[in-house]
Structure 1
Amino acid sequence: MEIRRSGNFGVIDTGTGRGLISFSIGGRGKGWEPSSIQLNRRGSFFSRKISVNGTFIVPMGDNNDMPGEVMRLLDKFYAGEGIMGKIAGLQWGEGPRLYEDAIDEENNRFYRRWKLDPKITADLESWDYTTVLHRSLVDLTHMQGFFIKFVRNRAPRIGNPGRFVRLEHIPYQKARLVYPPDGEDEPQEILVGDFPYPDPAYTYRYPIFDPANPFKYPVSVKYYNIYSFCKDFMSTPRFLGALDWLELAGGLADILISYNENASAISLHIESPQAYWDRAEERIKGVCAQTGETYSNKMLEEFKDAAMEKFASNITGRENVGKYMHTTKFWNTEANNFEGWTVTPLDKKIKDYVDAQIKISNKADAAATSGFGLDPVLSNLIIENKLSSGSEKLYSLKVYNASETAIPDMILCKPLQQYINANFPGTTTKVGLYRTIVEAEQNVSPSNRMKENA
């Protein structure tokens, strides 16, 4: 049996799995009431710079561990990584393809003329460019940015032309921008290590890649990101404002499991008369006077804990099932009222509690998908038991492709495009993500419909 008390209010965990018992000593209060709590709201990149191993960097979050915090929240939220995977899949389409810009003169519009370029493709495939690009996309969908390392050949050391050997993806949590020195507006270096607590022996500084002089450094790194409003240097996740909802949604399962296992709702409330404790204090003082011991308030507090624990043990436990308790009330002339011990069973309202948790869960799901910027129809979430029709999904997909893919496509393919431009100067070949246009079933010939090919 465990007792937790603050002043004259307390809660006893009987350890029997039958719930908690609240105490109100003095009988004048309203029982166990939570104190006023000031929430510790989550900040985002409020510190402009912090020192790590003697180097000033641009922190990721107040604790310099925003990627880790996002990872933990998404791992705990049942639909978190599922939704992020859906976003990455919608962005990726069928993957990167080569193209040239073209103009449809008849309709006066730009379009991409997809093409094959064996020479460029062979170069890219020599270092598995699709894996690098996909890992970068995962970082981009989670954190609105990613880090890429450019690795050059050694030829410029002996005066021969430079050429990139490969690009490497740097996991987002392992890189930080070095805060720009005095006189510079933008960071000039990137620190790579095991953040948020990197080992100095395995921490490396790299210059930032310069597209205007691509072969300047043997190895350079660049941070590519979608700009976040009023954020210096680093971008924040689109769903930053929904992190509290994600935390709430991720904790609902634990709450319900704990409730079912421990019946954690308070089951009984006991009120005791103040006169009882006044007489107890007088008895303790009398004993101290007889023994010569100095009285202290701690003695009364220990007596209160022991008395509440003993009283609770008499009304709980399997051996006391079916027993009843008799309490006596007496008239207190000073209080002008009856005083005595009272035990009040509390209605747990289990159905109301569970219904409330379900409503909170639905709200958290909706807030999360809104924060992710993905229609619940596309995220496979069932909000309030509503299933979406095929036409709704098709419409949402077309809206998403028209409004949410162009900017991430531009940012994601930028380092690959800079690689191609540097290794193949003068080329007009570009790289972009290819997506098949999804049409409604009624617009597809019967022989090519999905149900005919299932």
Structure 2
Amino acid sequence: MNIEYIGRDAIIDTPDVAFTYQVSETPRDFYKFKTDNNNLDWNSQCSFIGDYLVHPFGANNDLPDIIKQTVQTNYIAPGILKKKTQLIWGMGPVLYKEKLVETGEGNKRIRVIQEDAQIDAWLESWDYQEYLLKAVTDYQHIEGVFSKYELTKGSRVGSPFIAKLVHQYCDRTRLATEKNNKIRKATHAITSDWSFSNVQALTEFKVYPLFDFLNPFANLNAVLYSNMYSFCTDYYTVPDLYGSLEWLNRSTAVPLIFKALSKNSINLKYHIVSPQAFWDKKQKEIESSCVQKGQIYKPSMLLEYQKQFLEKISVVLSGDENTGKYLHTTKSFTVEGTNLIDHGWEIKVIDQNIKDFVAAQISISERADHALSAGLNLHSALGNVSESGKSDSGSEQIYALKTFLQTGIDIPELIIMKAINYALKVNFPNKGLKLGFYHEKPEKEEAVTPKDRIINK
């Protein structure tokens, strides 16, 4: 038997039968990125490490890992996010100075590109472009960037200067508050292995004070978290991608279903739905057993139990010798407000009309593609997510690009460049220069002379 997992969902192949398996959380399915305590009230899951209260990034402190896994296993999400990265990057970072110019319709603020050898030398000394590429990528996935400031050794003897900025990985960095801080405002950043895959992670961590732009030279090392504020959410941003995770899981499942069909040359016969409450109960039983045995609970234990359970189900469902056998389960009910929610197993026989089944899966995949493009605020003409068999016109692409440049660049650039522009202001206070991304204004092809239609590099 072969089992391919999609979070807590699975596709099971045996020589005699293939079926899909799904963990359901009624009334709405959240699958792998939702558990009984995984909601947006992350602060209730705070933990202590050393003398600091750590604010979790996600209810299970693993939102960056969930987004990483969900995106990277999908066939379209990485391309859309990379396209947004390229659109924001444009022609690359440039130094500029803002200036007001008079026009017939009043004053207009423009950017005047500047060159400065001293600043360029400083930027090149620590490979600022690699730092910015990582910062843009982090922003596209999780709408926040962690940056560490490192001061020169001369800062100790009265010659303060920021030597460089270092990108901090968002899956390894968390905001924290000192224990005696009653306001619960984040005061520090802690870097560690938050998966706690090894016991040493509990003791091997680094603590940095948060960067204070009013006193930038207060610490030799400090961390700045620049992010997009989420409504009524403390500490971290809830990225737009969070609401699209379920669509990502659905579109990721479709190719695996087709793989099972092609590999075994048989149709999926059953679709099994299990209640989330069943696995929550089993998880608690395994955790309790581990406590009694003096063992450390690992998520792989629940996965192994699930695998053994599915093997038993496959034996019942497959083979001629099992004709007439049946699987018996019970249902329980809970009341939430005005909703009566049932918790029970379902085994649904899938209609063997393969043409309709394939068409339905493709329809789900296409709907997921458009939902993802809308959720990430990228026009389908720019994300290459168009209606099947159609190609977006040049005019549609140009107008989509103009709209994106007018409305989708300024705030992301502000957040991505926040740390580096603080450093420029601190290190070179008299120059008044900022760093931003340069973009060419798009023009229709007929407005460009033939000799200028070649992209110069």
Question: Is the structural similarity TM-score above 0.5?
Answer: yes
Q: Deviations over 1:202-227 (max 9, x none)?
A: 21010001111111101111101011
AA aligned opposite 2:154: A
1:47-446 equivalence runs, <5 A: 47-48=42-43, 49-54=45-50, 55-107=52-104, 108-158=107-157, 160-179=158-177, 181-184=180-183, 186-197=185-196, 199-262=201-264, 263-266=266-269, 312-313=320-321, 348-446=352-450
Unaligned runs of 5+ in 1: 3-12, 21-33, 268-304, 316-344
Which is further off, 49-58 or 190-199? 49-58
Relative to the length of structure 1, the TM-score reads 0.73
**Runs ≥4 in structure 1, deviation > 6 angstroms?**
308-311
Deviation digits for residues 43-83 of structure 1, max 9, x if unmatched? Answer: 44422042153442111112111111001111111011111
Letter in 2 for 1:371: G
Gaps of 5+ in 2: 3-11, 271-312, 324-348
* Deviation sequence 1:418-442 (CA, Å, 0-9, x none): 1111111222112111111121111
Distance 1:347 1:83, change over 3 A: closer
Identity, in percent, stands at 30
Separation in 2, partners of 1:63, 1:14 = 31
Query: Residues 244 and 18 of structure 1: is their aligned pair in 2 closer, same or farther, counting only changes over 3 Å?
Result: closer
Assess if the C-alpha contact under 8 Å between 2:17 and 2:268 holds in 1: no
Spell out the pairing of 1:26-41 with structure 2 (5 A cutoff): 38=26, 41=30
Aligned length: 363
SS in structure 2 at match of 1:221: strand
TM-score, normalised to structure 2's length?
0.73
| CA RMSD, Structure 1 to Structure 2 (Å) | 3.1
Deviations 1:180-214 (A, max 9, x none): 65333531100111223271342101000111111
Contact 1:366 1:383 (8 Å CA) reproduced: no
Alpha-carbon distance in 2 for matches of 1:440, 1:418: 38
Q: Which residue matches 1:5? A: none
Local SS of the residue matching 1:436 = coil
Query: Structure 2: which amino acid aligns with 1:153?
Result: T
> Where does residue 7 of structure 1 map in the other structure?
none
User: How many Å separate the matches in 2 of 1:68 and 1:161?
Assistant: 40
1:376 & 1:391 partners in 2: Cα distance?
A: 13
Q: Check whether the contact 1:14–1:312 (CA below 8 A) recurs between aligned residues.
A: no
User: Structure 1 stretch 248-257 or stretch 46-55: which is displaced more?
Assistant: 46-55
Secondary structure in 2 aligned to 1:428? Answer: coil
Distance 1:142 1:311, change over 3 A: closer
- Partner AA of 1:210 in structure 2: D
Asked whether the equivalents of residues 248 and 372 of structure 2 are also in contact (C-alpha less than 8 Å), the reply is: yes
Q: Give the secondary-structure state (helix, strand or coil) at the position aligned to 2:122.
A: helix
Change (3 A) 1:182 1:37: closer
1:46 equivalent in structure 2: 41
Task: State the Cα distance separating 1:153 from its structure 2 match.
Answer: 1.5
Whole-Å separation in 2 of the counterparts to 1:310 and 1:72: 32
Between structure 1 and structure 2, the one with the greater Rg is: 1
Amino acid at match of 1:56: L
Distance 1:427 1:16 in 2: 72
TM-superposed CA distance for 1:237, in Å, is: 1.4
Deviation digits for residues 137-193 of structure 1, max 9, x if unmatched? 1101110001000001122333x2211111100111110000465333531100111
